Chain A
Amino acid sequence: MDTGVIDLIHGFSVALQPQNLLWCFIGVMAGNLVGVLPGMGVLSAISILLPLTYGIEPVGAILMLAGMAYGAQYGGAICSILLNLPCHPPHAVTCLDGFPLTKQGKGGTALGITMMGAVFGAAFGIMQMIITAPYIARIAFSFGSAEICALMLLGLLAGSTLAKGSPLKGVAMTIFGLLLGLVGQDANTGIERFTFGILDLDDGVELVALSLGLFGIAEFLRSVNNTVPIDATYAKLGVSDLRPSKADMKKAAFPILRGTLIGSLCSLIPGTGPTIASFVAYAVEKKVSKNPEKFGHGAIEGVAAPEASTHSSVQGDFIPTMSLGIPGDAVMALLLGALIIHGITPGPRLIVEHPDMFWGLIASFWIGNLMLIFLNVPMIGIWVKLLMVPYRYLFPSALFFICIGVFAAKNTLFDVVVTLGFGVFGYLLLMLRFEPAPILLGFVLGPRLEENFRRAMTISRGDIFTFVERPISAIFITLCVLLIAAQIWVRIRKTKPPIAIPADAHE
């Protein structure tokens, strides 16, 4: 813990460097913006900005991209509470009580409570990172290829089976992602796989092209036909409306605490992103409440708990992503890809090898959340105005930026075509209710799984039992087996999850 504090001070010295402050600000600002804008996802926004970061220092790049991930949470809440629009999936559940509050003229209070929950949740998530990091760093050296391979397997299994919707579809999508990850020249032998003789595919499918196609273009295709006129009758409020009354604060205190704990627990389980965290928090709050009948009609607890949960889970999600290399959801998978592109290998050694990056990022979380408060409290009116940008301006410009972003990644038109192809494919998946997020998970983790598997096999001279003979890897393999067994058991018992998470709510 002591070393954690010293490292954190170092982190602040990194994050407070002018250029890093600037990147952090751009990140949270852009994140807040895409969180507010209907139909613009965090994933597509990060994908668009990713190629632009190739030229800057890795630390600044990651601070910015991470800022977008948590900045979007603030914008998403505004959208849900004031307009009843679940622009951003983790906040879909906030609509249930947030919008009724707005109708009662208490929209400002709901937002104020949300921000308190957000700050508390985020601060807790950050603390959790600081406390766990040194422990992970200590065991870092015991992670060889066999251990990382077993860990990747666990991450893939957890990500595909715990995802929303049918586990079978999740596994299918993960496998599709794994196959996509195979495209290109094999690093060990130079053999070309699934390239169909196209030279441009030798280096594999471009991460940005895949994620922008599956999430950006596909989402665009889906929303373009069912645009709803935005009802902004209740969305007029000023800065002073944001201050919650003492009674409201008292009512919200425990839900915020419970939500935060649920969020941070969820973040530690690979494969459970903020969307699951917020739905679980809402369900728990409804269960423990003395008057559950108030939920759905403007209960302040129903806003406080899920919001706190989302925020702590988003911050906490960085733990498995950075220190184990297992992303909790598609956004984290993309950030993982960004780290790899910037030449940083996520995993237990990251904290030791790139202390600037790790501690700078944690410090920037604090700075970034502070910036977000300042961005949101005085400027709430501006964000509300932005909500009214009509789709007919928003979508073409988004599409334009998507194309520029993809082109900029490698200066080739080929990737733009690939993006459009994945866009159409992603649209089909959405129509057939297949969750596209596991594709990204498989795509990012697959190559690392394969790489470490082959390396472990070479080092063990072809002995497959190396994975169960080494204690850490044996633990992961056991967890994998338990996970599969649990899934089968649940299927046989036909138990259903306590709350239904909408299949179309992907983060």
Chain B
Amino acid sequence: MKKLWQRFALGLIGLTALAGTASAQDSYPDRPIHVSLGFAAGSGADILARYFTQQLEKVAKQPVIVDNKPGATGNIALRSVFEAKPDGYTILFSANSNMAGSRFLFKDLPFDTIKDFVPVASFAQIAFVMVVSPKSPINTVAEMTAFLKKKKDNLYGYTNQTAQLSTEYYKQIAGVEAKGVSYKATPDAMRDIIEGTLDFMIVDGTFGAGQIKQGQLKALALTTKERIPTLPDTPTMQEAGVPNYEFSPWWAAYLPKGTPQPIVDKLQGYFLQIDAMPETAKFLESVASIPQHDTSKEADARLKAELPRWGTLVKAAGIEPQ
């Protein structure tokens, strides 16, 4: 008799708990959502994130607040989401440099970017562009490869690890040698590109596209798999004769591990809906990017597929994990 009562009580508790979670998931989102971003307000990443959070606000019908947590190459933002309650109200916006690259760049991070986070959807890919001085006689990647093979002491410029590794990737496939010169931001490198101090540079398209259109830089190829509407005449690396080349930053939303699946699904729906909007494509064109339309599973697969490449490139670039 006692046992039956106990079972009944347990069942009741279980039911209410279930009902509780079920209703919490059904009513999600019923309060403001926070988006953690590892970049400062006003940065390129912030501009991208703000567009998507504004749209998310409209489709989710809840206020969406961007928490800019710059620092430690984005790891501070990752840590904050890792430590957050997995209830769908704290989302991480992060690029593949963090999610795939971090494990090779840092030794003792408190989290594992693959095991501790769940991708929701990937929504944008940013184009990087290989550029040379407008005064340079070189017009194609093939000419560049031949030129670098002949010449000694080649120099290339880079501003961030993704750009550095994308150059390493080109070097590896093309079989050329060049030494990297680090710059804080692309504008700082402009003089050295134009004056020919640097033989070439892979720059971010957001800044580069404007310079290319003004004739300050000459574009050779895009690092994306497909051409972008921002620079319709610039071929991709693959088209320019660098087989299998694809290396671009892409942005995705992530949730901490343990977030209920219905919430992940709901958010995934929101992001795919935003990504399909015509104004999204228009906005992305203005920042030299293209929509990515990856579901949670696709983003996960893309991330895992990229891992070995990041590993070998970090080694090839001679970067010691910290």
Q: Which residues of A line the B interface, CB within 8 A?
A: 54-55, 58, 141, 143-145, 185, 187-192, 199-200, 202-203, 341-343, 345, 349, 353, 410-412, 451, 454-455, 458-459, 461
Contact = CB atoms under 8 A, between A and B. Distances in A.
Contacts of B181: 455, 458-459
A190 B67 contact: no
Given A143-B191, A345-B188, 20 more contacts: A54-B42, A141-B191, A144-B192, A188-B182, A189-B319, A190-B322, A191-B322, A200-B72, A202-B72, A202-B73, A202-B75, A203-B70, A345-B184, A349-B190, A410-B40, A410-B70, A455-B181, A458-B155, A458-B181, A459-B192
A144 B188 CA distance: 10
Interface string B129-171: 0000000000000000000000001010000010000000000
Chain B at the A interface: SS class: mixed
- Mostly helix, strand, loop or mixed at chain A's interface? loop
Interface string B166-199: 0000000000000111111101101110010100
Contact of B179 (A190, A199, A451, A458): A458
B191 A199 contact: no
A493 to B, nearest CB: 43
A202 B188 CA distance: 22
Contact of B41 (A55, A187, A189, A455): A55
Contacts of A202: 71-73, 75-76
Contacts of A199: 71-72, 75-76, 79
A185 B73 contact: yes
A54 B40 contact: yes
A349 B188 CA distance: 9
Interface string B58-91: 0000000001111111011001000000000000
B237 interface: no
Interface of B: 40-43, 67-73, 75-76, 79, 105, 153, 155, 161, 179-185, 187-188, 190-192, 195, 197, 319-320, 322
14 contacts: A55-B41, A145-B192, A189-B319, A192-B322, A202-B72, A202-B75, A202-B76, A203-B72, A345-B187, A349-B187, A353-B187, A410-B69, A410-B70, A411-B67
Nearest to B179: A458
B184 A187 contact: yes
Given A190-B320, A343-B185, A200 B76 contact: yes
Contacts of B187: 345, 349, 353
B244 to A, nearest CB: 27
Nearest to B153: A461
Contacts of B161: 190
Contacts of A185: 72-73, 322
B164 to A, nearest CB: 10
Contacts of B70: 203, 410
B270 to A, nearest CB: 24
Nearest to B161: A190
A343 B186 CA distance: 10
Nearest to B75: A199
A459 B40 contact: no
Given A410-B70, A461-B153, A54 B41 contact: yes
A206 B79 CA distance: 19
Contacts of A203: 70-72
Nearest to A454: B182
A185 B76 CA distance: 13
Contacts of A461: 153
Nearest to A58: B42
